[in-house]
Chains A and B, each alone.
Chain A
Amino acid sequence: MIGKDVFDRVLRIARLHLTDEERQEFLKDLEDIIEAFAYMDQASVDHLKPAFHPWIEDMIEDTSGLRLDDEPRSFEHLEELRSSLSLNSDGYMWGPRVRKK
């Protein structure tokens, strides 16, 4: 069981607003899913390392093939992105305030 308190915490972190009807429906579905997944407990895998990636043997321990940490076309890319944004007449994108006064 997840319960109302934990579900409220999930909603807060997920930044989702739900109607009362939706809350009931989603909580039930989420509890059903978690209950159905409880059989994962039977998997004896505690001795294994997590696989964040499918190429467990080839990739995780060898990062020599990763690209250099640079972005040769970043400026051009920014210009491309600007064309998909709705900008004000002064050329800036406006958004909501992030800090209360």
Chain B
Amino acid sequence: MMPTTTIVEFQQYLVKDHVKIFDLFVLLMEKLEKLNENFGFWHAHPTRGQLEQNLQHSKKVKDTTLQYYPISVKDNICTKDLETTAGSRILDGYIPPFDATVVQRVKNCGGIIMGKTTMDEFGFGTFSLNSAHEIPRNAHDRARVAGGSSGGAAVLTALVSHHVALAVSTGGSISCPAAFNGVIGLTPTYGIVSRWGLIDYANSLDKIGLMGQRVEDLEVVFSKIKGPDGKNAMIKASRSMIRGGSKKTMKTLRIAVLDSVLSECDPRIVNQFHHSLDRLVAEDLIETDVVDIPSSRFSVAAYYIIATAEASTNLARYDGLRYGRQSRSHEEYFDEFFSQHRSKWFGKEAKMRILLGTFARMAGYKDKYYFKALKIRRALIQEFKEIFTKFDLVVTPTMPLFPPRIDEAHQLSPVEIYALDVLTIPPNLCGFPHLTLPMLYDPAPAGCQFIANHFDEDLLFEIGKHWQSLFSLEHPRQYLNMLELM
């Protein structure tokens, strides 16, 4: 069942007594600590003192849009006085002295930060199995993966009512875990949400987005976190485009079905995909046609080349002198000191991506790999833009498979794992906003992904609301309804 209360209705349920609200949040945190023992979604959470401070701040805000509303934060988004590790041992102990812009904006309208969610190290993964800390487990079946890299965010979103998660996507890290846990995930247009305070994976690809159980909740939180930020050059440059971006329609939405990718999907997912679209068509909410985007078949390779090339330079800042772990032994010269520190504290997948990215940028190879990948990205964007002259949205399933069992996922090679991102990479590589919506829960959750042109998030919210009117979101067995704690 879909939760029946909006953010505003939830706020109306709260008794306007500060002591009672504090008690409610303490009780919620106790319940979550117990749930976390089974599901591993938390890396860090506020102390009682920090919670009290947060609630006091929330009580006084002028903009009460998110007053007392629980918000979780992926562990690669900086939070003042709360450990932020990006899922890596190399950042153990790093407590940022500042809030990321998105966190500050959430707090400015009263949101309550309820913890940092577990993830693949620096976002490097499809299952969250590359976390150096807790491994999150699927909310509907603990034996299955949570998806990645925002695994903890998706699990917490599925398990708890009245909560929105701040998550991050580079190549599908919001859509994949949201689909695997049967919740809604919004990856906004590249650059529309400030990345200031986000720990970089790949600067031309990273996007902060949201997960939740209701499209309306995501719409409200999105309206508060997006927009120009003097600390982020990209977002300032996009100011005029953000203003001109919305175009709500009341007509039937024209949907392009990317048919060529369906052969790579589990047949049960394809069947439900067609069934879901047929229902929307039958209600006159959409009309569909089949399209092809030829360059999409090169997107996995292009993405991994570009993403790792950028990541391999970004990770050079972890030199053992700043951020997190700092080595006290300075007997070696800097190069050796730096090499030893990285070699000791980066995880296996981080090393793999540093090697791949370094190779792709190396003299003698960069034209063949890095520049080729950048040209493929241009071709892909042009093909999508052409589609968007005739259609409002493009649709595919979100992931080609159901979340695998954890033991099965451990057996997959890097090439096999990278190939699973085939559906989420195209919109991410091009910076197009996309929304994943749950469409199936048996034998495990699976999602459907709608992709819009840059800055057309409103169309995603529109299709999301249509979807909600026809299909129900199912809760896991251990679901915690906050209203029942009141």
Contact = CB atoms under 8 A, between A and B. Distances in A.
> Which of A17, A63, A95 neighbours the largest number of chain B CB atoms within 10 Å of its CB?
A95
Contact of A65 (B238, B321, B375): B238
A64 to B, nearest CB: 8
Contact of B295 (A43, A55, A67): A43
Contact of A43 (B236, B342, B379, B382): B379
B481 to A, nearest CB: 39
A66 B376 contact: no
B273 interface: no
Interface residues on A, range: 35 or more
> Which of B230, B343, B430 neighbours the largest number of chain A CB atoms within 10 Å of its CB?
B343
A51 B381 contact: yes
Interface residues of B, number: 73
A98 B331 CA distance: 11
Nearest to B240: A65
A98 B342 contact: no
Nearest to A51: B378
B332 interface: yes
Nearest to B308: A33
A86 interface: yes
Interface string B324-364: 00100011111111111011001000011011101100100
B107 interface: no
A18 B419 CA distance: 26
Contacts of B358: 10, 13-14
A67 B413 contact: no
Interface in A51-87: 51-59, 63, 65-67, 80-81, 83-86
A48 interface: yes
Contact of B352 (A30, A85, A94): A30
Interface in A1-32: 2, 6, 9-11, 13-18, 22, 26, 29-30, 32
Contacts of A57: 385
B240 to A, nearest CB: 7
A9 B355 CA distance: 10
Contact of A52 (B98, B191, B374): B374
Given A15-B335, A30-B359, A55 B322 contact: no
Contact of B321 (A6, A33, A50, A95): A95
A55 B97 contact: no
B312 A14 contact: yes
Interface stretch (B39-47, B144-152, B297-305, B467-475): B297-305
B371 A29 contact: no
A59 B238 CA distance: 8
Contacts of A37: 301, 304-305, 369
A48 B326 CA distance: 44
Given A33-B418, A58-B454, A83-B97, 20 more contacts: A6-B359, A14-B312, A15-B339, A29-B413, A37-B301, A42-B298, A45-B295, A45-B378, A48-B379, A52-B204, A54-B191, A55-B431, A55-B454, A67-B230, A80-B98, A85-B321, A95-B330, A96-B337, A97-B330, A99-B333
Interface of B: 94-98, 190-191, 204, 230, 233, 236-241, 295, 297-298, 301-302, 304-305, 312, 321-323, 326, 330-340, 342-343, 346, 351-352, 354-356, 358-359, 362, 369, 371-379, 381-382, 385, 413-415, 418-419, 429-432, 454
Interface of A: 2, 6, 9-11, 13-18, 22, 26, 29-30, 32-34, 36-37, 39-40, 42-43, 45-46, 48-59, 63, 65-67, 80-81, 83-86, 93-100
